[in-house]
Amino acid sequence: MPEPPAATVAAAPDRPTARQLAAELRAGKTSARALVEASLAAIAATEPTINAFISVDAPSALAQADEVDRKRAAGVQLGPLAGVPLAVKDVLCVRGGRTTCGSRILADFVAPYDATVVARVRAAGLVIVGKTNMDEFAMGSSTESSWFGPTRNPVAPDHVPGGSSGGSAAAVAAGETVLALGSDTGGSVRQPAGYCGVVGLKPTYGRVSRYGLVAYASSLDQVGTLSRDVYDAALLTQVIAGHDPHDATSLDVPVPDYSAACHRPVAGLRVGLAREHFASGLDPEVAAAIERVARHLERRGARLVDVSLPVAGHPEYCIGAYYLVAMAEASANLARFDGVKYGHAADAPSDLLAAYVRTRSEGFGAEVKRRIMLGTYALSAGYYDAYYLKAQKVRTLIRRDYDAAFTGCDALLTPVAPTTAFRLGDNIDDPLQMYLNDVYTVSVNLAGIPAISVPAGVSSCGLPIGAQFLAAPLAEEVLLSVAAEAERGTTRGEP
C-alpha cells in the first residue's frame, strides 16, 4: 500500500474561480487591488514550501490592479477577466522583467518586449503577479531541473508537480493565483495539471501565437492555460487565441466563443477509447478513473466507440519520434545562448572557443546538455537520415492515425500520465523513466492537435488523477464541451 502524501498546503475545491472573482469585481463586491493583495499574501505564505515562482513583482502588480480599478470606476468597458490575477511561466517574455527559462544562462536576462500572449492578457486587464518556475528551458517532466530549485506539489509537497509548467500548475493548485500561462511541447501543460488537480489546455498548434515564447522545439511548442476549472480555461484561451503577424506559424482563422462551448450538451458526441492507451504500464487506479469518466459521459448521452491508434498509441514509436524531433530542434534553438550578446558569460576566457565552451558548460544544466548533444548527434552527417528523418516520417504516420481516428469519433479520452505524481528525486537520475511519463501526451504535439487535462478524482492515497481529451485540429470547442461535462460529473461525484 503506498504511503499517503504529506499534508497539503491547502484544500483546493473551495477556492473561487476566475469567473466568480470577475463577477464580484463587476458587482463592486471587491477590487482588483484586493484580489492582487490576496494573491501576493498567498504567495508569501506558500512559497517557502512550494517554490512555484521564480520572480514576483508586487509593485508592478499593484499598479496594474489600481489602473484596472480606476478604469472601472470611470465607466470604461473592460474585458471579462479584467482585474483577475495571473501568473506567467518564465519562458514567456514580460517586458522589463527577468525571463530566465529556469536556467543559469538567462538568470539575469531582462526581456525588452512582451510576448504576444502577454500583451493580450495585459490588454484584457488581467494582472500579472509573477513568473513561475519550470524545468530548465522546458526540458523535463517534474520541475526538478530548474536553476532556482525544484517546485513541490501543493497536494503532496514530497511529490513533484509535473513539468515543465510545474510552477504554473502548482501556483493555481495552491491558490497563489487563479490563472496561469504555461507552454506545452510534449505535455508540459497537461501533465502538471493532471498531477496537481487543475485544468490544463493545450490549443491547436498555431491557434495561439508563439512570438515571445523562448523556443525549445519550434514545431512542437504551444502556449497553453492552467486554471481552476474548464470555464476559466475557455475564458483565458479566448483572450490569448488568434492570428499574430509576428508568428509565421500563427493560423489566420476566426476564434469562436469558447465559453459557450462549455454549456453544450454532449448527447450525440462520439468519444473514442483507444485500446493501446489501456495496455500494460497503466496504474489500475488511473485506468479505473478514466473508465468512470467514460461511463459518466455515456450516461449524459455521449456514445463510446473503440478506436485504434497503431502508431500514435504505441510508446516505442511516439517517445522515440518525439525526443528525436524535440532534441534536434533544441540543439538548433539553443545555439544562440553563447554568452556573446546576452545571458551568462564565462569570466576571462583564453580565446573564443574557450568562451563558448565554458559559458555553455557553466550556464546549462545536465538535462539541457544531454538534449543538445543528442539532438546535435541526430542532425549530424551520416545520422540525419537514420534518426531525424525517420522520426519525421513516424510523425507523419502519427498525424494520419489521428486523422483516421477523428473520422469515427469527435474526441478521444485517454489518461494524462500512466501514474499519479511520483516522489521528488525518484526519477531525476533516470532519464528514460522520466521520458516515459510523457507517453500519453507527446503524440498530441507531434500531430499538432488540441488536448485538455481535467481532474478525474484522486488515488487511494489522495493524489490527483487527470483525464485527457483530444480532438481534431481547431476543435477546441469539442474539447471544452466534453471536458466541462466530465468536470461536472467529478464535482457531483458521479464518474
Q: Which listed residue (103, 188, 259, 443) is catalytic?
A: 188
Per-residue pLDDT, 380? 95
Question: Of 86, 58, 85, 88, which is closest to residue 167 (Cα–Cα)?
Answer: 88
Per-residue pLDDT, 11? 38
Q: Is the separation of the CB atoms in 445 and 185 below 8 Å?
A: yes
Q: Cα angle vertex 310, ends 269, 277, to 5°? A: 60
Largest CA distance in the chain: 71
Whether residue 127 lies inside any domain: the answer is: yes
Cell numbers given for 91: 519562458
Q: Is the separation of the CB atoms in 71 and 150 below 8 Å?
A: no
Would you tell me how many other CB atoms lie within 10 Å of the CB of residue 352? 10
6 pLDDT band (50/70/90 cuts)?
A: very low
Report d(CA 305, CA 273) in Å as an integer.
6
User: Is 60 exceeded by the pLDDT of residue 495?
Assistant: no
Q: Which tops the pLDDT comparison, 495 or 344? A: 344
Q: What is the pLDDT of residues 10-57, one digit of tens each?
A: 434 578 999 999 999 999 999 999 999 999 999 999 999 999 999 999
pTM higher than 0.85: yes
Task: Compute CA distances 479 → 274, 404, 408, whole Å.
Answer: 17, 18, 16
Cis previous bond, 164, omega within 30: yes
For β-strands 222-227 and 179-184, DSSP reports them as: antiparallel
Strand 303-307's sheet: what is its strand order?
53-56, 127-132, 85-89, 179-184, 222-227, 199-202, 451-458, 464-470, 411-415, 270-274, 303-307
Per-residue pLDDT, 492? 55
Total domains, the chain: 1
User: Is 60 exceeded by the pLDDT of residue 467?
Assistant: yes
Report d(CA 146, CA 157) in Å as an integer.
17
Percent of the chain with pLDDT over 90: 92
- Residue 289 is inside which H or E element, if any? helix 284-299
Task: For residue 445, give the CATH number of its domain.
Answer: 3.90.1300.10
The overall average pLDDT reported for the chain is 95
Q: Which listed residue (31, 39, 89, 459) is catalytic?
A: 89
Whether residue 54 lies inside any domain: the answer is: yes
Whether residue 333 lies inside any domain: the answer is: no
Q: Look up 188 and say whether it is catalytic.
A: yes
User: Is 90 exceeded by the pLDDT of residue 348?
Assistant: no
- The answer for 75, left when phi > 0, alpha when psi is -120 to 50, beta otherwise, is left
Per-residue pLDDT, 432? 83
- Domain around 112: 22-272+407-492
Q: Look up 393 and say whether it is catalytic.
A: no
Name which of 238-242, 253-257, 490-494 the model is least confident about: 490-494
Task: State the amino acid at position 479 in one-letter form.
Answer: L
Report d(CA 444, CA 439) in Å as an integer.
10
Q: Which tops the pLDDT comparison, 491 or 341? A: 341
Per-residue pLDDT, 493? 52
Question: Of 308, 278, 283, 314, which is closest to residue 294 (Cα–Cα)?
Answer: 278
Which runs of consecutive H residues, i.e. helices, occur in 75-225?
116-123, 166-173, 190-196
Question: Of 238, 203, 225, 293, which is closest to residue 489 (Cα–Cα)?
Answer: 293
Q: Look up 460 and say whether it is catalytic.
A: no
Q: Which listed residue (164, 209, 443, 453) is catalytic?
A: 164
Provide the total of helices (H) and of strands (E) in the chain, helices listed first.
Answer: 16, 11
Q: What Rg do the C-alpha atoms of the chain give, in angstroms?
A: 21
Per-residue pLDDT, 202? 98
Per-residue pLDDT, 7? 41
What does the pLDDT average to over 443-465? 98
User: Is 50 exceeded by the pLDDT of residue 123?
Assistant: yes
Q: What is the pLDDT of residues 74-93, one digit of tens each?
A: 999 999 999 999 999 999 99
Q: Cα angle vertex 11, ends 263, 189, to 5°? A: 55
Whether residue 280 lies inside any domain: the answer is: no
Q: What is the pLDDT of residues 363-385, one digit of tens each?
A: 999 999 999 999 999 999 999 99
Per-residue pLDDT, 3? 47
Per-residue pLDDT, 315? 87
Evaluate the CA torsion angle 336, 337, 339, 341 in order and state its sign: positive
Place of cell 550556464: 363
Q: Which tops the pLDDT comparison, 126 or 314? A: 126
Per-residue pLDDT, 485? 98
Q: What is the pLDDT of residues 397-414, one digit of tens each?
A: 999 999 999 999 999 999
Whether residue 292 lies inside any domain: the answer is: no
Cell numbers given for 370: 544531454
